[in-house]
Amino acid sequence: MAKLNIVKEGDPILRKKSRPVEVIDDRIKTLAADMVETMRAANGCGLAAVQVGKLRRMVVVEVEEDKPYIMINPEIIKREGKQNEAEGCLSLPDQWGITDRPMTVTVRYTKLDGKQYTVTGSGLAARAFCHEIDHLDGILFKDNAVRMLDPDEVEH
């Protein structure tokens, strides 16, 4: 496994639409492992492949310790409720904003075993799923922010 470089705001790749993963081969499996390692090293709870310079529809999300979701070609198929919370991004260091997200989402995705699954997440999980899947379409959290926060408003 290797820690990858996280692309920062201003790099045009972050605004591009990612391509579907057609074949789950050793390169995709290695990328998945490297993305999990990179996300953890950066103290994040999610990372999209585009954030490490790969225009592939793949994200990793980990809101419970040692339980990462590796999602290939993820798609939100159900949204319920509403939450209005602070959000940040590894590609936008030191920027935080209040976003409106669904309270609960159901995501259909493919795992590394090539099979399709669904997962339903609420609260932070729903926010992270939405945030990372947005990245796959070139959308950054601040595009949807109701309000960006001043640094003195952010709890660390």
Of the candidates 84, 107, 111, the one whose C-alpha atom is nearest the C-alpha of residue 29 is: 111
B/e letters for 72-96, b = 16+ CB within 10 Å, e = fewer, are: bbbebeeeeeebeebbbbbbbeebb
**Exactly one of 64, 65, 132, 155 is catalytic; which is it?**
132
DSSP conformational letter for 84: E
Is residue 22 part of the annotated active site? The answer reads no
User: Which residues form the catalytic set?
Assistant: 132
